[in-house]
């Protein structure tokens, strides 16, 4: 990369730090421990054949693409002799590698080294990006796909490149097959593109319609599962109602998710940078200004659409779901900084962004420390159960069964006798996992028959405890209790 200015020096520093962060992703202790309860679901599902994986996903609340990629990663990991979870960690890190490559080439060429370096570094240290480039979930791939879709959007505005239309269509569909909030961001992107077309270049409307039609055709196979998932969510879902605190945290998610004060600081920084850019870009080409601000519109539009859907349909807004849109927002911020020519305005903008970076680095360190310690603790609790030949594990919730079936082959496990688990027949699951079933009303009888056993119950949220049960651990809605078999006359459910 050629260095031609002081700004390029800072860009190179940011990019070098980004590469260091990439290396740390492979070396961090977080790699060795499960970080999120949903990873238990991933591990159990990926043990099954591909057809079962797609079926189970269709009964969950997510699209199937990540789980298909995960199955491939697990197979490759097994073939080369590494742990399957490590294979999934690598799978989640690949998008950051590709984003680094895109930034070093395309973004650097179009907007300069400073913008490219700041963008990659912000994706490593802001909000919850670092952790989600590691965990066995779909977020990092959704981030990659929306970034590529946004870059193709910019190429359409600049050059009306037919190849860019194809890329936009394909990667928009990939977003929708990866995470539904990435799909919401894509909807915003297409709305923004339509506004641009109607305002500046109506001759592109035909291609816009063809792109929409192509995306719809490619997504048709998933429409029936999507309708079923929406019905399930409408009937019951765990996300809380939107309130001012959640709204502020969502708008401030470019910095951090769990503190409204930091959210307000982040909002103030966004407003400040946009104000400076408005003054700086007064003489800039209107199309170019529209293009750059589109990244901001995608971010705000995704939040507003989520709020609207939460009000008229069912609460669906969770800050971490905004990760793909947040990545687009940081690309916009990085580009805006590179566009500011006035030295004083540049220094003010850089100082505001530096404040967010300091917040990001600080919270990343504290968050990673928390995830490490909690991951170690969770692993110790579960290992104590599965390594004890005298233990019995009872999974006392239908949805929780799929999360912890991976432990069924390691312990004497009993699960609720239900018709299906995420669309999978119990007889089918018995072919891959070694577990027993019990009727919920017979749990006291089951425990009474396990005299001398160390009995543990895994349940969703806090169970009603009495003198015969002791809660030994809880995380992310999961509660693990131990039964006192010396006084086990009744267990509350």
pLDDT in tens, 62-95: 999 999 999 999 999 999 998 889 999 999 999 9
Nearest to 457 by CA among 436, 471, 476, 437: 471
How far, in Å, CA of 439 to CA of 414, rounded?
10
* Reported confidence tier of residue 461, pLDDT bands at 50, 70, 90: low
Residue 51 has pLDDT above 50, yes or no: yes
Nearest to 36 by CA among 364, 479, 475, 481: 475
| Residue 229 falls inside a structural domain | yes
Same domain, 399 and 334: no
The rounded distance, in Å, linking the Cα atoms of 414 and 407 is 11
**Do 63 and 132 reside in the same domain of the chain?**
yes
Which tokens sit at 129?
Answer: 């990006």
Asked if 140 and 209 sit in the same domain, the reply is: yes
Q: State both tokens at 379.
A: 């692993």
H helix or E strand, kind and range, residue 143? helix 139-159
Q: What is the pLDDT of residue 231?
A: 86
- Domain-located, residue 271: yes
Q: Distance between CA atoms of 227 and 216, rounded to whole angstroms?
A: 15
CB-based burial, 419-454: b 16+ in 10 Å, e otherwise: ebbbbbebeebeeebebeebeeeebeebbeebeeeb
Residues 469 and 435 in one domain: yes
Domain that holds residue 465: 388-487
Q: Indicate the residue among 373, 403, 421 that finishes a domain.
A: 373
Which pLDDT value is given to residue 491?
A: 44
d(CA 332, CA 327): 9
pLDDT higher than 50, residue 280? yes
CA distance readout (Å), 362 to 330, 358, 367, 458: 18, 6, 9, 34
H and E: helices and strands count for the chain: 21, 8
Distance of alpha carbon 414 from the chain centroid: 31
Structural domain count of the chain: 2
Q: Which of 373, 407, 422 is the last residue of a domain?
A: 373
Section 112-118 average pLDDT: 96
Pick 201 or 468 by higher pLDDT. 201
What band does 493 get if pLDDT is binned at 50, 70 and 90? very low
* Same domain? 116 vs 207: yes
Contact in structure between 192 and 290 (CB atoms under 8 Å): no
202 within some domain = yes
| 379 found inside a domain | no
Does 466 score more than 70 pLDDT? no
Q: Of the candidates 317, 340, 373, which is a domain's last residue?
A: 373
Same domain for 268 and 305, yes or no, is yes
Query: For residues 446 and 442, what is the distance between their CA atoms, to the nearest angstrom?
Result: 6
Q: What residues does 224 pair with on adjacent strands?
A: none
Q: Is the pLDDT of residue 242 over 70?
A: yes
- Report if pTM > 0.85: yes
412-416 vs 436-438, strand pairing mode: parallel
pLDDT tens-digit map of 376-401 = 888 888 888 888 889 999 998 888 88
State whether 99 and 229 are in the same domain: yes
401 Cβ neighbours under 8 A, 6+ residues apart: 395, 415, 416, 418, 421
| Residues written for the chain | 493
Instruction: Name the percent of the chain lying above pLDDT 90.
Output: 58
Is residue 269 a contact partner of residue 352, using CB atoms and an 8 Å limit? yes
More confident residue, 262 or 184: 184
Predicted local distance difference test score (pLDDT) of residue 463:
57
Give me 188's structure tokens.
Answer: 């915003």
Q: CB–CB of 414/476 below 8 Å?
A: no
pLDDT value at residue 2: 61
Is the same domain home to 152 and 88? Answer: yes
Q: Specify whether 362 is located in the same domain as 453.
A: no
Residues 112 and 250 in one domain: yes
Pick the more confident residue, 18 or 261: 18
Instruction: Output 464 or 319, whichever has higher pLDDT.
Output: 319
8 Å CB contact between 439 and 417: yes
Predicted pLDDT of residue 492:
43
| Band of residue 285 on the pLDDT scale cut at 50, 70, 90 | confident
403 and 369 housed in the same domain: no
On whether residue 383 sits in a domain, the answer given is no
End-to-end Cα distance, the chain: 63
- d(CA 444, CA 442) in angstroms, rounded, equals 5
Q: pLDDT: is 6 or 235 the higher one?
A: 6
Instruction: Note whether 350 and 417 are same-domain residues.
Output: no
Q: State how far the Cα of 191 lies from the Cα of 114, in Å rounded to an integer.
A: 29
Whole-number pLDDT of residue 489: 44
Whether the per-residue pLDDT at 490 is higher than 50: the answer is: no
Instruction: Examine residue 1 and state whether it is found in any structural domain, yes or no.
Output: no
């Amino acid at each position: 990369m050629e260095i031609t200015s002081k700004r390029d020096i800072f860009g190179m520093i940011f990019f070098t730090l980004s590469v260091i962060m990439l290396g740390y992703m492979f070396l961090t202790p977080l790699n060795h421990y499960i970080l999120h309860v949903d990873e238990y679901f991933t591990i159990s599902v990926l043990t099954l054949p591909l057809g079962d994986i797609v079926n189970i996903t269709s009964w969950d609340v997510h699209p199937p693409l990540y789980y298909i990629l995960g199955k491939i990663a697990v197979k490759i990991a097994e073939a080369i002799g590494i742990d399957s979870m490590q294979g999934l960690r690598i799978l989640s890190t690949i998008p950051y590698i590709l984003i680094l490559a895109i930034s070093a080439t395309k973004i650097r060429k179009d907007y300069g080294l400073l913008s490219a370096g700041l963008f990659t570094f912000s994706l490593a240290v802001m909000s919850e990006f670092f952790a989600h480039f590691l965990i066995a979930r779909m977020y990092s791939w959704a981030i990659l796909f929306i970034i590529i879709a946004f870059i193709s959007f910019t190429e359409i505005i600049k050059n009306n490149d037919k190849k860019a239309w194809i890329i936009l269509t394909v990667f928009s569909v990939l977003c929708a097959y990866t995470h539904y909030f990435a799909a919401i961001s894509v909807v915003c992107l297409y709305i923004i593109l339509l506004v641009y077309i109607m305002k500046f270049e109506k001759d592109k409307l035909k291609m816009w319609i063809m792109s929409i039609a192509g995306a719809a055709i490619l997504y048709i196979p998933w429409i029936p599962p999507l309708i079923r998932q929406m019905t399930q969510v409408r009937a019951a879902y765990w996300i809380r109602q939107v309130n001012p605190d959640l709204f502020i945290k969502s708008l401030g998610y470019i910095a951090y998710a769990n503190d409204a004060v930091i959210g307000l600081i982040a909002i103030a920084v966004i407003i400040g940078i946009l104000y400076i850019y408005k003054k700086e870009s007064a003489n800039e080409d209107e199309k170019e200004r529209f293009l750059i601000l589109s990244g901001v519109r995608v971010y705000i539009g995704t939040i507003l659409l989520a709020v609207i859907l939460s009000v008229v349909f069912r609460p669906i807004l969770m800050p971490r779901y905004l990760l793909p849109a947040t990545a687009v927002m940081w690309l916009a911020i990085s580009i805006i900084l590179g566009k500011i020519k006035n030295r004083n305005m540049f220094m003010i903008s850089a100082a505001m962004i530096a404040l967010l970076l300091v917040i990001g680095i600080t919270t990343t360190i504290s968050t990673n420390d928390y995830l490490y310690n909690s991951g170690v603790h969770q692993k110790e609790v579960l290992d104590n159960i599965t390594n004890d030949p005298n233990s019995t594990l009872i999974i006392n919730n239908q949805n929780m069964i799929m999360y912890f079936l991976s432990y069924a082959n390691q312990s004497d496990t009993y699960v609720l006798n239900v018709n299906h688990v995420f669309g999978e027949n119990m007889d089918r699951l018995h072919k891959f996992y070694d577990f027993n079933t019990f009727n919920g009303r017979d749990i006291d009888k089951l425990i009474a028959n396990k005299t001398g056993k160390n009995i543990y119950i895994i349940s969703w949220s806090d169970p009603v405890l009495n003198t015969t049960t002791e809660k030994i651990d809880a995380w992310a809605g999961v509660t693990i209790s131990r039964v006192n078999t010396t006084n086990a006359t009744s267990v509350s459910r």
